[in-house]
A and B are shown apart, each in its own frame.
Chain A
Amino acid sequence: MVVLDSPRLWNRLQRKLAKKVKKKTEESTSTHVKQLKNFEAKKEEIEIPEPRLNWMGITREWGVKVLPGEKGLTLGSLNVGVYGEIPTTWSDRGRNPRGAIASGARLPLAISVQDKADLWANSAATLYEEAIQRRWIPATDIPWDQLAPLPDDIEHAICQVCTELMQYANTDIEVITNWQHKMAYGYHEVKQYLATASFDGARRYEAFRKRALSNGGGLGLESTCQVNRVLLESTGGWTETVATWVFNRLLFALTICRYLERFAYNEAEIKLYQYVGQDLARILSYGIDHLHYAMNADPEKRASVGISITIGDAFLVRDLRDPVLKEALSIIFGAGINGVNKDGLDTFYEMLDTYVKEYLELCAWLKLDRKLEQMPTIFQADKRKR
């Protein structure tokens, strides 16, 4: 090894290096100049093909000019001419956007939901616009400064419920993403709406985590939630998954949030539950609209939808046997452990009755043959064991 401890040796090396660099640069420049001169000399002989631009004329419909209406340039308003033709089956298993021309040479995607009846909702484009336009920001739209210290039992209960609701939100994201890539591209309104719904799930997860970690508490117990498992393992059909999702999760979660708003302890929680309630109601709208469409388009679906709900009911009953959520909600509704037996538990069961009422109204409207006496006894006020 050479030790450069002499300034003279250092300077000599630097000069040598500089010379080398200069020589290499001159050689390189000279080569480039030569190549350029050669090219100039032969330019006349080289034939550069004219761009063919033959892709330019290929379109199914040209000259489309959709103008913004009173609600702006909405997704639904673009459904004009061939772009508005929504077939009952989309046989193309590629990423071909509806109205474009399919490429012949490509590998098929793992798309299995190809019938309109299996995913469509007439409101999908509207719900997509609504999700975009009615967005909210947990970081700044909730007045977190309104949180104030709560008695330990109540804080524990709220944090436990937030822990559970975070898992609901996470499941919602994965229910959608499990199916998203299986849905045909021809029904982009549904795919786009569901993309916003999975983002809404992420926002719910964020918001409940923020509530749990911003008032002196923390996260509680992971739930064994059986409904989560049923939803995530439901692979038979999207409509059937939606049936369980609507009746055994979304409606139940919305009812919980409505009661949490009613018994909120501060303005931050009121806003949190109000915003989340709106988001849940929007997914519920998609689900209701899809079930309505699917069962009208294919009446045989009524049976599989009914079975899916019955299965979902059974797993929801198992979840309700787990005392954690019931106790936590009863503490919140009863203003503390001492109020559980006074008002808390009564309100919890009142909440269940509200859920069942909405559930049966929805069944009736969807023409699903379902009566209160057919439901598990925990849902029947006069038969349930507390």
Chain B
Amino acid sequence: MSRAKLSFPSVEWFNAVRKEFNTDEEFHRRGAGHCNCVAGVKVGDDVFVLTFEGQECTSVEQSGELALADADFYMSMDAVDWQEMLANISKHGHAVGDYTLNTLDLNRFDGLATSVHGDQFREDMFFRFNQTLQFFFDASSRIDTRFG
């Protein structure tokens, strides 16, 4: 686990998760090999764009709302809901129960994943790459996270 507490959401936090995710072979096996997509993460009003290429998450950028138009899909929740999800992951080492990405998407009235463009082929990537995305957030269990 990283020693310094990293604040969520921040580029530093995502980069720390990215490092854990990219370097652990366990996250790239079992139905989670190559993944090529651009995924947005919206935490309240904060927007981050994650690029996945091959076996890695190659970049994380903090952007404005407009950047979401270029993402294949984006995952959006209030900060407190992200916090609950990450707390669950931190407690169990991976998401369980109501906190898997799929269940969050089903349980929320507006869903978790959506897109600006409505392109159903690109939105489907949320389901096609679900394991990779889940493993990415599961990797956050190794980060000492500070909220707010």
B53 touches A70 (CB 8 A): yes
Q: Provide the bound-state CA to CA distance between A134 and B30, in Å.
A: 7
Picked from A130, A133, A262, A275, the residue with its CB within 8 Å of the CB of B106 is A262
Is B84's beta carbon under 8 Å from chain A?
A: no
A365 touches B124 (CB 8 A): no
Q: Provide the bound-state CA to CA distance between A261 and B97, in Å.
A: 9
Which residues on B sit within 8 Å (CB–CB) of A289? 121
Picked from B30, B100, B120, B125, the residue with its CB within 8 Å of the CB of A261 is B100
B34 touches A261 (CB 8 A): no
Is B64's beta carbon under 8 Å from chain A?
A: no
Instruction: Bin chain B's interface residue count.
Output: 20 to 34
* Chain B, range 5-62, C-beta contacts under 8 Å to A: 29-36, 53-54
A 55-86 binary contact with B (CB < 8 Å = 1; else 0): 00000000000000011100000000000000
Minimum C-beta distance from B96 to chain A (A)? 8
Q: Across the interface, name the chain B residue whose C-beta is closest to A276.
A: B31
Which residues on B sit within 8 Å (CB–CB) of A209? none
A281 touches B102 (CB 8 A): no
Question: If the complex has contacts A134-B31, A136-B31, A278-B31, are A285 and B124 also in contact, measured as CB distance less than 8 A?
Answer: yes
How many A-B contacts at CB < 8 Å in the complex?
A: 90
Q: Provide the bound-state CA to CA distance between A71 and B118, in Å.
A: 27
Picked from A70, A261, A354, A364, the residue with its CB within 8 Å of the CB of B54 is A70
Which residues on A sit within 8 Å (CB–CB) of B119? 365
B100 touches A270 (CB 8 A): yes
Is B103's beta carbon under 8 Å from chain A?
A: yes
B103 touches A261 (CB 8 A): yes
* Chain B, range 88-121, C-beta contacts under 8 Å to A: 98, 100, 102-103, 105-107, 118-121
B120 touches A362 (CB 8 A): yes
Instruction: Bin chain A's interface residue count.
Output: 35 or more
Minimum C-beta distance from A30 to chain B (A)? 66
Q: Across the interface, name the chain B residue whose C-beta is closest to A279.
A: B31
Which residues on A sit within 8 Å (CB–CB) of B29? 141
The stretch of B74-82, B127-135, B139-147 that contacts the partner chain: B127-135
A365 touches B118 (CB 8 A): yes
Q: Across the interface, name the chain B residue whose C-beta is closest to A366.
A: B120
Q: Across the interface, name the chain A residue whose C-beta is closest to B58.
A: A70
A 124-165 binary contact with B (CB < 8 Å = 1; else 0): 001001100111110001000000000000000000000000
B124 touches A281 (CB 8 A): yes
Question: If the complex has contacts A134-B31, A258-B102, A261-B100, are A361 and B131 also in contact, measured as CB distance less than 8 A?
Answer: no
A275 touches B31 (CB 8 A): yes
B128 touches A258 (CB 8 A): no
Q: Provide the bound-state CA to CA distance between A281 and B37, in Å.
A: 15
Q: Provide the bound-state CA to CA distance between A136 and B127, in Å.
A: 16
* Chain A, range 230-283, C-beta contacts under 8 Å to B: 254, 258-259, 261-262, 270-271, 274-275, 277-278, 280-282
B128 touches A282 (CB 8 A): yes
A261 touches B121 (CB 8 A): no
Question: If the complex has contacts A134-B31, A135-B31, A365-B119, are A275 and B102 also in contact, measured as CB distance less than 8 A?
Answer: no
Binding site for B on A (CB under 8 A): 70-72, 123, 126, 129-130, 133-137, 141, 254, 258-259, 261-262, 270-271, 274-275, 277-278, 280-282, 284-285, 288-289, 292, 354, 361-362, 364-366
Binding site for A on B (CB under 8 A): 29-36, 53-54, 98, 100, 102-103, 105-107, 118-121, 124-125, 127-131, 134
Q: List 9 A-B contacts (CB under 8 A).
A: A133-B34, A141-B31, A254-B127, A258-B105, A261-B102, A262-B102, A275-B131, A277-B102, A361-B118
**Closest CB pairs A-B (n = 7):** A281-B127, A136-B31, A133-B33, A133-B34, A141-B30, A281-B128, A134-B33
